[in-house]
Amino acid sequence: MTLEIRIAHRFADFRLEVDLALPGGLTCLFGRSGSGKTSIVNAVAGLLRPDAARIVLDGVALHDLPPHKREIGYVFQDARLFPHLTVARNLTYAARIRGQRPDGLDRIVELLGIGGLLDRRPGTLSGGERQRVAIGRALLAKPRLLLMDEPLAALDDARKAEILPYIETLRDETGLPILYVSHSVSEVARLATTIVLIEAGQVAAFGPAAQILSDPGTAALMGLRDAGAVLTARIVAQEGDGLTRLETAAGPLWLPHVAGEIGRALRVRIAAQDVILSRGRPEGLSALNILPATVATLHDGQGPGVLVRLDLGGEFLLARVTRRSAQALDLAPGLAVHAVLKSVAVAQADVGAGTT
Amino acid sequence: MTDWLPPEAATALALSLRVSLVATLVSLPLGVFVAYALARWRFPGHGLLNGLVHLPLILPPVVTGYILLLTFGRQGWIGATLWDWFGFTFAFRWTGAALAAGVMAFPLLVRAIRLAIEAVDPKLEEAASTLGASRPKVFATVTLPLILPGVIAGAVLAFAKAMGEFGATITFVANIPGQTQTLPTAIYSFLQVPGGDRAALVLVLISVAVAMLALALSEWLSRRVARRIAG
């Protein structure tokens, strides 16, 4: 799949100008609110008519088509279920409009776990249920591309945790390309295969998720507090004391129990502020996860912090240290160090199914 | 007929019901269209159309009736064409009474429906379009079901207004028993003749009963529809 998006549009207070060629998988449009992310997906859906647009999905030009002919599914932040229809009739809406049978209804209902809701009205559903029905409704329209505009932003953490696995399953099992708008770093780290950073209507950075997340320059743009790299890992053992042993390119990691069979691929996110650097191999520490690494680059930000990019043999980690520590340790590219990961840093919510 | 209801009164009641029903049903689709245009579209002449629709509400009914006479009377610029081409006329016919009633009730109809349309979130219509529905299908499957309570309320209001319409009707099509004598004009006539006040009173009571009945029916319908929509 390739999706070409070239848009220029002048709003009252800023100018949107992007030129992207996106691969398949799940692409996150990441940026502050008001940066133009939603305008981009609206232009792709046809809900916004930009001053100039060229939008081509797998060789089919979409920019001249009205929204109902674009075959693009759209999951909105606010679900937008039809209040006068039952869940079942919301789900089959697209099929009924086209006079078709709703193929795959059972499979989608099972995939999203909404079998018990079919006769209910949207007004009686919880936020998480509503969002799952909205995802099902968009999927049953048989789209060639799925747009998701902050589908989790209106939900609390428990509801988010309820829906994230379904989105991962979509990404990994249906092969449907997804364009996903978010301003949450943890969501992006968990879901994205490609990241597009949007700042004030322009593309600030664009690339594979692992690269963007572990690049100190782009990580700083995404917000220092949330900066952190993503490692691909594989479950190799469930150990007797309740820990799960994971294998990464950088070495073994032990996490409090992670559900999944041996061999399952995962992504593990490690926040930059939860990584401690040591020049020698530290002794007598309670931290379980200590990985040998080489300093790749240093990125001075404003303020007292330094973002350090660590090479762990092909995989990259970010560490955030103070400039004073960086000087005390004499950190410089090429220096061998040990990265101490506070085990709490590897949060369960940030562990998801990896793309393989 | 029965002795409590004089035959002229029964005729007037039947005519009034027919006139009001026809006026309401014929103006309903146009009312929905105009309400939708006013609520959702921005076009040159938006304010003018809005003013035109509301004119019968503000003008003295006699003036509206006189304008109708000038336009749709046998000599009127539209009326003459209708007569020459189709041999059809509104003048002094029950159809003219229906036209007058429809025009007078139109602002109420449009206002109620427009409010309902403005309450529908356009985001739902956008969602429908991303699911493959063209504009007309979006209207038929999302907008219309959601505004149905408003449409019913508007129709009942229009019907009640049509039942009570007096000034424009009597100016446009006069007061001919069996032809253009509706309930209000019949009451007026009965009050003009000695000994007519009993018949007038009966008609007044009937008017009140019809109005109350229509109101109750619309309340019941709207509530049913609203419950169905809200889920």
Domain ranges of chain A: 3-214, 228-353
Res A144: pLDDT? 93
The predicted model gives A236-243 an average pLDDT of 87
Q: Which domain holds residue B70?
A: 7-230
Res A82: pLDDT? 95
Is the pLDDT reported for residue A355 higher than 70?
no
Is B88 inside any structural domain? yes
Is the pLDDT reported for residue A356 higher than 60?
no
Q: How far is A56 from chain B (nearest CA, A)?
A: 17
Is the pLDDT reported for residue A354 higher than 60?
no
Tens of pLDDT along A226-235? Answer: 778 888 788 8
Is B70 inside any structural domain? yes
User: Is the pLDDT higher at B168 or at B4?
Assistant: B168
Q: Which of A148-157, A254-263, B125-134 has the highest mean pLDDT?
A: B125-134
Is B107 inside any structural domain? yes
Res A166: pLDDT? 84
Q: How many domains does chain B have?
A: 1
Name the average pLDDT for chain B.
Answer: 91
Does B136 touch chain A if contact means CB atoms closer than 8 Å? no
User: Is the pLDDT higher at A90 or at A189?
Assistant: A90
User: According to CATH, what is the number of the domain A3-214?
Assistant: 3.40.50.300
Is B2 inside any structural domain? no
Res B83: pLDDT? 87
3-state helix, strand, coil split of chain B in percent (to 5) is 80, 0, 20
Res A299: pLDDT? 84
Is the pLDDT reported for residue A346 higher than 80?
no
Is the pLDDT reported for residue A145 higher than 90?
yes
Res B131: pLDDT? 96
Q: How far is A74 from chain B (nearest CA, A)?
A: 7
Is the pLDDT reported for residue A112 higher than 50?
yes
Does A49 touch chain B if contact means CB atoms closer than 8 Å? no
| CA–CA dist A20, A264 (Å, integer) | 33
pLDDT band per the 50, 70, 90 thresholds, residue A348 = very low
Neighbours of B178 (CB within 10 A): 12
Which of the four CATH numbers 3.30.450.20, 3.20.20.80, 3.30.2130.30, 2.40.50.100 does domain A228-353 have? 2.40.50.100
The domain spanning residue B219 has which CATH number?
A: 1.10.3720.10
pLDDT band per the 50, 70, 90 thresholds, residue A345 = very low
SS3 state of residue A167: helix
One fold for A3-214 and A228-353: no
The predicted model gives A185-205 an average pLDDT of 89
Is B64 inside any structural domain? yes
How many CA atoms within 13 Å lie on the side-chain side of A21? 3
CB contact under 8 A, B132 and A68: yes
Is B81 inside any structural domain? yes
Name the average pLDDT for chain A.
Answer: 86
Q: How far is A79 from chain B (nearest CA, A)?
A: 9
Does A80 touch chain B if contact means CB atoms closer than 8 Å? yes
What is the arrangement of strands in the sheet containing A251-256, beginning at the earlier edge strand? A251-256, A243-248, A228-238, A265-271, A352-353
Interface predicted TM-score (ipTM): 0.82
Label each residue of B155-207 as H, E or C. HHHHHHHHHHCCHHHHHHHCCCCCCCCCHHHHHHHHHHCCCCHHHHHHHHHHH
Is B91 inside any structural domain? yes
CB contact under 8 A, B231 and A86: yes
What is the arrangement of strands in the sheet containing A275-278, beginning at the earlier edge strand? A275-278, A336-341, A289-300, A305-311, A316-322
For residue A76, give the chain B residue with the closest CA: B127
Is the pLDDT reported for residue A54 higher than 90?
yes
